[in-house]
Amino acid sequence: MRTSWADAVAAENAASGSSNINGPRGAPRPGRSSYMPPHLRNRPPALDPPAPSYSSPTSGNDRLGYSGPPSGLRSGGSRLDYGHQGYVGGGWSSRGGGRDIGREREVNPFGNNDVDNETEHAFDEQENTGINFDAYEDIPVETSGENVPPPVNTFAEIDLGEALNLNIRRCKYVKPTPVQRHAIPISLAGRDLMVSAQTGSGKTAAFCFPIISGIMRGKFAQPRGYRTVYPLALILSPTRELSMQIHEEAKKFSYQTGVKVVVAYGGAPISQQLRELERGVDILVATPGRLVDLLERAKVSLGMIRYLALDEADRMLDMGFEPQIRKIVEQMDMPPRGVRQTLLFSATFPKEIQRLASDFLSNYIFLAIGRVGSSTDLIVQRVEFVHESDKRSLLMDLLHAQKANGVHGKQADFGICGNKEGS
């Protein structure tokens, strides 16, 4: 007759209890008053107390000695409460203690310079030390077009959304620059815009703020393909360095807004960029060549584009990207002008840019900031002719001098090259 597992355990316990009367030599196993798992039954008795990393199961949820989940345990089931408010190692989000499926934990792009609720008001009176806002007051501004929205004087006058306004304070932006003062209200009104602005005038924020705000407010149902992503905004730039710079700034502006920013550029492995795209993208920052590659691979679709921004369009034309740009805008599945909103930024205004603007923009407003074709007066440009063997030592001298200035020195970028071919 077959016996049940429970009966077998009870008989075994009874037999072991009776054998203990005859002494320890006749006992096959040490006596025990409670059930022991099979993988622990034949082990010799330990002389030392058990390690604190594991405590035998007891009644209730007494897991004080538990140091973490076993190597093969996945989240789920009835063993999710580890005493932590948000398990990070298994993909848990620290906000709310819930699971963030399909999204990685967002990294704070501000590092230790973040602002909390208690110190927000301190940044309202603190200006960005890297920008001399008062020097912008004398820059001439010209606008042309129909029904031009009025400019603003402060970011508080612009309704960009609470999360984006907090990121603006995190960036320590107090006063908008002239291009931001005029371009942001025009973009928020849904108008196409052609901007001829000086280098270093704050163009990145001028087109990032309206795009992020529009995506936050809009209810866009993005279709999901098997391997195809559908971004809502596209930012084209001529070089990977500029694309990376725009990406870093856009990540700061979109922090904790729910807007995902991804960058794609040539000269780097495409596999990592494809993985980033597959995690989701709302704003795609790309160079023309790499974007054409992604479109031809059917990894990206432009059918849901609502915002198109072209930064340094004149430089893209100088580098020979006009065929790729026209292919992206006119020959792919991007919505036509009038359906999408187009923002075109250029430091110069040659005939090629005027023709491009007439083909890509609809009933647009032209905005000229400062002297067309020049860099801003706030940037000090110095050219030094150095022998090839002395370039490294000169660079180190400049870096040491910059470090010696400390917080009183202005941020500087150094570019040392020979010519266009050998740089």
Q: What's the pLDDT score for residue 349? A: 82
One domain for residues 236 and 349 = yes
Cα angle 315, 316, 321; round to 5: 150
Higher pLDDT: 197 or 72? It is 197
122-162 confidence digits (pLDDT tens): 344 444 434 455 556 667 888 999 999 999 999 989 889 99
One domain for residues 143 and 185 = yes
Cα angle 49, 8, 10; round to 5: 60
Number of domains in the chain: 2
Q: What whole-number distance in Å separates Cα of residue 30 and Cα of residue 7?
A: 20
Higher pLDDT: 302 or 411? It is 302
What is the average per-residue pLDDT within 198-209? 86
One domain for residues 291 and 400 = no
Share of the chain above pLDDT 90, in %: 45
- Please check the confidence at residue 25 and state whether its pLDDT lies above 60: no
One domain for residues 149 and 296 = yes
Q: Would you place residue 119 in the very low, low, confident or very high pLDDT band (cuts 50, 70, 90)? A: very low
Q: What whole-number distance in Å separates Cα of residue 232 and Cα of residue 387?
A: 48
Q: What whole-number distance in Å separates Cα of residue 128 and Cα of residue 181?
A: 17
Sheet containing 307-310: order of strands = 141-144, 365-369, 193-196, 341-346, 307-310, 233-236, 283-286, 261-264
Q: Which among 211, 234, 192 has a CA at the least distance from the CA of 343?
A: 192
Determine contact, residues 86/93, Cβ cutoff 8 Å: yes
Q: What are phi and psi of 84, to 5 degrees?
A: -110, 150
Determine contact, residues 365/193, Cβ cutoff 8 Å: yes
- Please check the confidence at residue 341 and state whether its pLDDT lies above 90: yes
One domain for residues 214 and 339 = yes
* Beta strand residue intervals within 189-246, DSSP E: 193-196, 233-236
Q: What's the pLDDT score for residue 414? A: 58
187 in a domain, yes or no? yes
Q: Which among 185, 191, 171 has a CA at the least distance from the CA of 250?
A: 171
Which CATH number characterizes residue 237's domain? Answer: 3.40.50.300
What is the average per-residue pLDDT within 302-310? 96
One domain for residues 399 and 297 = no
Determine contact, residues 349/196, Cβ cutoff 8 Å: yes
One domain for residues 278 and 421 = no
221 in a domain, yes or no? yes
One domain for residues 250 and 369 = yes
Q: What whole-number distance in Å separates Cα of residue 74 and Cα of residue 308?
A: 42
First to last CA, the chain: 89
Q: What's the pLDDT score for residue 378? A: 53
69 in a domain, yes or no? no
Higher pLDDT: 229 or 125? It is 229
- Please check the confidence at residue 68 and state whether its pLDDT lies above 60: no
One domain for residues 168 and 294 = yes
71 in a domain, yes or no? no
Q: Would you place residue 334 in the very low, low, confident or very high pLDDT band (cuts 50, 70, 90)? A: very high
One domain for residues 158 and 177 = yes
Beta bridge partners of 236: 286, 310
233-277 confidence digits (pLDDT tens): 999 999 999 999 999 999 999 999 999 999 999 999 999 999 999
- List all residues 6 or more positions away from 281 whose beta carbon is below 8 Å from its beta carbon: 229, 231, 260, 261, 262
- The residue segments making up the domain with residue 123 are 119-381
342 in a domain, yes or no? yes
One domain for residues 329 and 418 = no
Determine contact, residues 293/324, Cβ cutoff 8 Å: no
Q: Which among 184, 418, 198 has a CA at the least distance from the CA of 314?
A: 198
283 in a domain, yes or no? yes
Q: What's the pLDDT score for residue 227? A: 84
Q: What is the DSSP letter of 148?
A: P
One domain for residues 306 and 374 = yes
110 in a domain, yes or no? no
57 in a domain, yes or no? no
